[in-house]
Amino acid sequence: MNADYSKQNIEFNIINNGTITSVPGFYAAACHCGIKGSGKPDMCIIYTPEDSTCSGVFTTNKFLAAPVSVTKEQLKKTRNIKAIVVNSGIANACTGEMGYKNAKKTIEIASKYLGIDKDKVIVSSTGVIGKQLPMDKIEEGVRQCAVKLSNIDGHSAAEAILTTDLVTKEIAVSIKVEGGNDIIIGGIAKGSGMIEPNMATMLSFVVTNIKISEKLLDEILLEEVDSSFNSITIDGCQSTNDMVIVIANSKSSIEIKNKKDKYYKKFKNALSFVLKDLARKIILDGEGATKLINIRVINTKSKFDAKKLAMGIANSNLFKAAMFGEDLNWGRINAAMGSVDCDFDPEKVDIYIGDILIVKDGMGIEFDRKYTEKLMKEKEIKFTVNLSYGKEEFSVLTTDLSFDYIKINALYRT
Amino acid sequence: MNADYSKQNIEFNIINNGTITSVPGFYAAACHCGIKGSGKPDMCIIYTPEDSTCSGVFTTNKFLAAPVSVTKEQLKKTRNIKAIVVNSGIANACTGEMGYKNAKKTIEIASKYLGIDKDKVIVSSTGVIGKQLPMDKIEEGVRQCAVKLSNIDGHSAAEAILTTDLVTKEIAVSIKVEGGNDIIIGGIAKGSGMIEPNMATMLSFVVTNIKISEKLLDEILLEEVDSSFNSITIDGCQSTNDMVIVIANSKSSIEIKNKKDKYYKKFKNALSFVLKDLARKIILDGEGATKLINIRVINTKSKFDAKKLAMGIANSNLFKAAMFGEDLNWGRINAAMGSVDCDFDPEKVDIYIGDILIVKDGMGIEFDRKYTEKLMKEKEIKFTVNLSYGKEEFSVLTTDLSFDYIKINALYRT
């Protein structure tokens, strides 16, 4: 996943300083409407005047935040979405009937100020749990954003969706189209813990100018989210507000009709790159993270097994603390895998750090400790675990567990 | 579990300064044979010359340490066990064929020095993973312990099984028997992380003087381990070496034949108390712990659901870090529960700290913050989560996640 991009058959280019508004026909504006006490931007609208196809993937947490419930309902009515209203500072989660009504009300307000059908608006929130949205401020925020929407200021939207994040997360790529408008994909994301249910969450909004059916876009998104946002973990926790939204506005004149289509594979690869890049940026901004750890589990019977084992290692506090201490403690990898509910033969497990074999057939072996000590000191560390009983694999990105993780999450006050 | 012992119908007494050798017919000795570099005790033998019934519960980690495999094999041959040989310092885990042979060899050595059938010896190890046992030191240790076995020094055994633990964990209780010898149950345990696969593990050895069938002892042990050792978690990790062993040597003249037996319930309650007490002592000595958190989930359809939810909360790093920071961050309880794979209605969830209702129907409510701030400052904090859809419940004990957990686990060197 922090993959050797060079090895891929890349058929797209990264746009310098790219963001969502690098995509033709998309507009964005942000403002500070007063939800955050800090004076930082806390509201944005992403908008396209074109007809669109929208696809979404949402948290499976049972305490579903109101904006997630309402957005899911909206997408059942139509996938032709023209606006996303996002606020940060308050998550509108665990807010009951009033929270639900406020999310619906936000849609009505946006519909009024943008002059579009209310079925074509979706909402998203991130911030503290258990507080109601201040609807007067929401209305003022929507009003201000609507006024500024002739701008194409995607960077300001990327900033407005942040909570405990330290940096914005943005990217845009282009796919060359001969004799036509290039296909552009742009995305923004937030999330500094995988979740931090009080002041963070994982959100991503991606837009593109292709024409595509709901069914095909759903399929591609689901598959690519699995190997990007669902392949990262900071603390194994999952938010009440997580969502990934893709909107395609048909501006490029390119239509992808089916999997055999000339641009299908090119689009899928480029979207995959965008989602993985945003996921990677979330991990790099992980709460208190000093290391980026790539855990690749290979040669399992199913992808599902490989994912369970990789996540088992990635979420082991003992393993993560050892990474922070730069100690190549392979016993913690073994112990974490052994606890996972998954059949494998522990006596056939090989473990590598970088290209160096450190565990063979489940047992530690002699290796060049001077060299591995050097690898452990690097910012990015890569482990490969070979289960030797199949052909599937899965990679997970995670962080170490540092003093700062505790500081951020213990000393923060509700 | 940190339960109001006062409310129970207690029919046993805690023996002052009690340990395993408080039980008639049990002997124990310990020594430093040189496995640990620190000069601290690293070997002990627990021994009874009587015929016995032995029951064991073992780790389900797939990387099973050699002493666990070998002890499981031994118990298939006979449950009449007379000696347990335990070493600390090296776990004999991930050691392959040689590790297996060394565990078998330890049994032969003990059989020779104790003059008992080798089928009647079991072994246990805790310490670093991936190193072979130094068999000359093991032999010298067994020899020294055998010489001292006429002593009844259970405290020395409790000390010899420790690794990163700060204190020994011991207890003994007696059940009054009219016109006969009292029933005594004594136990020792170790474990300072739930596991710490390099220098720790959860071990417990419990002995008693009743006569009981294998089947009945197995049943009781399995049930009581579930509500004691399987109800605690420090970091959600599970060791390669965990085991809980009970040996009953028939010395008291009391035989428990079936569940209707006069002493069945009394014995079961007292054993339950012993196991819970040892489990609680492990948590109190948890790596870096500053708090003991009791999470009781009530009114679920099944005990299994209640346990999954309680463990989901107890293993949430965000929740644990908030506890360390003494912040009553109930959103993290909701979010942790919502991530658990278990059906419940989030809108019917009530949460209490002590007796104070803080979440009603899944939403935060007004409560006396001054009083709850006081509760959060205490060493022991109790949460009750009411799911309102059944009659089962489960309680879990855990610790907070502190700077010292990171220090212990990151700065430790393999």
Distance from CA of B219 to the nearest CA of A (A): 24
Residue B229 phi/psi, 5-degree rounding, is: -65, -30
- Give yes or no for residue A195 having a pLDDT over 60: no
Pairing outcome for strands B13-14 and B169-175: antiparallel
- pLDDT band for position B92 (50/70/90)? very high
Q: Do B346 and A62 touch (CB under 8 A)?
A: yes
Q: Do B335 and A413 touch (CB under 8 A)?
A: no
Q: Are residues A179 and A215 in the same domain?
A: yes
- pLDDT band for position A5 (50/70/90)? very low
Three-state DSSP class for A23? coil
pLDDT at B408: 76
pLDDT above 90: percentage of residues in chain B: 71
Give dist(CA A38, CA A72) in Å, integer: 31
Q: Closest residue of B to A364, CA-based? A: B130
pLDDT at B412: 60
- pLDDT band for position A288 (50/70/90)? confident
pLDDT at B192: 67
Q: Are residues B276 and B384 in the same domain?
A: no
- Give yes or no for residue B29 having a pLDDT over 90: yes
- Enumerate the residues of chain B whose CB falls inside 8 A of the CB of residue A413: 325, 327
Pairing outcome for strands A380-386 and A292-300: parallel
- Give yes or no for residue A271 having a pLDDT over 90: yes
CA B70 and chain centroid, separation: 20
Q: Are residues A95 and A131 in the same domain?
A: yes
Q: Closest residue of A to B404, CA-based? A: A403
Chain A interface, best mutation among B317, B333, B341, B361, by max A CB count within 10 A: B317
Q: Are residues A85 and A179 in the same domain?
A: yes
Q: Are residues A202 and A276 in the same domain?
A: yes
Q: Which residue has the higher pLDDT, B405 or A145?
A: A145
- Residue range(s) defining the domain that contains residue B320: 292-411
Answer with the one of A267, A284, A301 that is the final residue of a domain.
A284
- Tell me the mean pLDDT in the region A364-369: 92
pLDDT at B413: 58
- Tell me the mean pLDDT in the region A387-395: 93
- Enumerate the residues of chain A whose CB falls inside 8 A of the CB of residue B315: 236
Lowest-confidence range among A104-118, A198-212, B145-159, B390-404?
Answer: A198-212
State which amino acid sits at residue B78: T
Residue A65 phi/psi, 5-degree rounding, is: -70, 150
Q: Are residues B225 and B151 in the same domain?
A: yes
Predicted TM-score of the model (pTM): 0.83
Give dist(CA A315, CA B312) in Å, integer: 13
- Give yes or no for residue B199 having a pLDDT over 80: no
- pLDDT band for position B193 (50/70/90)? low
- Enumerate the residues of chain A whose CB falls inside 8 A of the CB of residue B372: none
Closest Cβ opposite residue A335 in set B240, B317, B402? B240
Q: Which residue has the higher pLDDT, B164 or B109?
A: B109
Residue B177 token pair: 């028997």
Answer with the one of B284, B300, B318 that is the final residue of a domain.
B284
- Give yes or no for residue B200 having a pLDDT over 70: no
Task: Name which of B410, B407, B382 is nearest B397 in CA terms.
Answer: B382
- Enumerate the residues of chain A whose CB falls inside 8 A of the CB of residue B410: 321-322, 324-325, 327, 401-402
Q: Do A321 and B406 touch (CB under 8 A)?
A: yes
Half-sphere exposure of A87 (CA within 13 A, CB side): 28
Q: Do A405 and B317 touch (CB under 8 A)?
A: yes
- Give yes or no for residue B166 having a pLDDT over 80: yes
- Enumerate the residues of chain B whose CB falls inside 8 A of the CB of residue A377: none
Residue B194 token pair: 């739930």
Contact B409, B193 (CB under 8 A): yes
Sequence-distant (≥ 6) Cβ neighbours of residue A71 within 8 angstroms: A56, A58, A122, A123, A124, A243, A245
- Which runs of consecutive H residues, i.e. helices, occur in A124-213? 135-148, 154-160
pLDDT at B3: 40
Q: Are residues A121 and A236 in the same domain?
A: yes
Give dist(CA A110, CA A121) in Å, integer: 7
- Tell me the mean pLDDT in the region B357-382: 94
Q: Do A197 and B334 touch (CB under 8 A)?
A: yes
- Tell me the mean pLDDT in the region A304-321: 91
pLDDT at B196: 39
Q: Which of B201, B300, B384, B398 is catalytic?
A: B201
Q: Do A96 and B362 touch (CB under 8 A)?
A: yes
pLDDT at B414: 58
Query: How many structural domains is chain B composed of?
Result: 2
Chain B interface, best mutation among A92, A237, A369, by max B CB count within 10 A: A237
Contact A31, A145 (CB under 8 A): yes
Q: Do A94 and B196 touch (CB under 8 A)?
A: no
Name residue A175's beta-bridge partners.
Answer: A183
- Enumerate the residues of chain A whose CB falls inside 8 A of the CB of residue B409: 317-318, 321-322, 325
- Tell me the mean pLDDT in the region A327-352: 91
Closest Cβ opposite residue B62 in set A64, A238, A346? A346
Which region holds residue A259: left if phi is over 0, alpha if psi is between -120 and 50, else beta? alpha
Q: Are residues B360 and B404 in the same domain?
A: yes
Distance from CA of B338 to the nearest CA of A (A): 4
- Enumerate the residues of chain B whose CB falls inside 8 A of the CB of residue A321: 405-406, 409-410
- Give yes or no for residue A4 having a pLDDT over 80: no
- pLDDT band for position A142 (50/70/90)? very high
pLDDT above 90: percentage of residues in chain A: 71
pLDDT above 70: percentage of residues in chain B: 93
Lowest-confidence range among A8-12, A33-37, B207-211?
Answer: A8-12
| Tens digit of each residue's pLDDT (9 = 90 or more) over A198-249 | 444 789 999 999 999 999 999 999 999 988 888 887 766 667 888 999 999 9
A:B CB pairs within 8 Å: 208
Residue carrying structure tokens 């060493």: B379
- Give yes or no for residue A192 having a pLDDT over 70: no
Q: Are residues B388 and B303 in the same domain?
A: yes
- Tell me the mean pLDDT in the region A166-185: 93
Q: What is the CATH number of the domain that holds B146?
A: 3.60.70.12
Q: Closest residue of B to A316, CA-based? A: B237
| Summary mean pLDDT of chain B | 90
For chain B, what is the HEC assignment? CCCCHHHCCCCCEECCCCCHHHCCCCEEEEECCCCCCCCCCCEEEEECCCCCEEEEEECCCCCCCHHHHHHHHHHHHCCCCCEEEEEEEECCCCCHHHHHHHHHHHHHHHHHHHCCCHHHEEEEEEEECCCCCCHHHHHHHHHHHHHCCCCECHHHHHHHCCCCCCCCEEEEEEECCCCCCCEEEEEEEECCCCCCCCCCCCEEEEEECCEECHHHHHHHHHHHHHCCHHHEECCCCCCCCCEEEEEECCCCCCEECCCCCCCHHHHHHHHHHHHHHHHHHHHHCCCCCCCEEEEEEEEECCHHHHHHHHHHHHCCHHHHHHHHCCCCCHHHHHHHHHCCCCCCCHHHCEEEECCEEEEECCEECCCCHHHHHHHHHCCEEEEEEECCCCCEEEEEEEECCCHHHHHHHHHCCC
Contact A231, A49 (CB under 8 A): no
Contact A229, A66 (CB under 8 A): no
Distance from CA of B93 to the nearest CA of A (A): 9
Lowest-confidence range among A195-199, A370-374, B122-126, B259-263?
Answer: A195-199
- Give yes or no for residue A186 having a pLDDT over 60: yes
The alpha carbons of chain B give a radius of gyration, in whole angstroms, of: 22
Give dist(CA B341, CA B360) in Å, integer: 22
Q: Do B331 and A197 touch (CB under 8 A)?
A: yes
pLDDT at B130: 87
Q: What is the CATH number of the domain that holds B326?
A: 3.10.20.340
- Tell me the mean pLDDT in the region A253-281: 94
Q: Are residues B276 and B375 in the same domain?
A: no
| Tens digit of each residue's pLDDT (9 = 90 or more) over A156-175 | 999 999 988 889 999 999 99
pLDDT at A157: 97
Q: Which strand (E) or helix (H) includes residue A174?
A: strand A169-175
Three-state DSSP class for A114? helix
- Give yes or no for residue B4 having a pLDDT over 70: no
Q: Closest residue of B to A239, CA-based? A: B335
| Tens digit of each residue's pLDDT (9 = 90 or more) over B41-53 | 999 999 999 999 9
pLDDT at A193: 56
- Give yes or no for residue B95 having a pLDDT over 50: yes
- Give yes or no for residue B232 having a pLDDT over 50: yes
pLDDT at B77: 98
| Tens digit of each residue's pLDDT (9 = 90 or more) over A19-45 | 999 999 999 999 999 999 889 999 999
The segment with the largest mean pLDDT, out of A332-336, A403-407, B379-383, is: B379-383
| Summary mean pLDDT of chain A | 90
B168 counts as catalytic: no
Answer with the one of A284, A310, A326 that is the final residue of a domain.
A284
Q: Which residue has the higher pLDDT, A16 or A332?
A: A16
> Is 0.85 exceeded by the ipTM?
no
- Give yes or no for residue B343 having a pLDDT over 90: no
Q: Do A335 and B236 touch (CB under 8 A)?
A: no
- pLDDT band for position B14 (50/70/90)? very high
Q: Are residues B133 and B254 in the same domain?
A: yes
Distance from CA of A382 to the nearest CA of B (A): 18
Give dist(CA A87, CA A42) in Å, integer: 5
Q: Are residues B331 and B270 in the same domain?
A: no
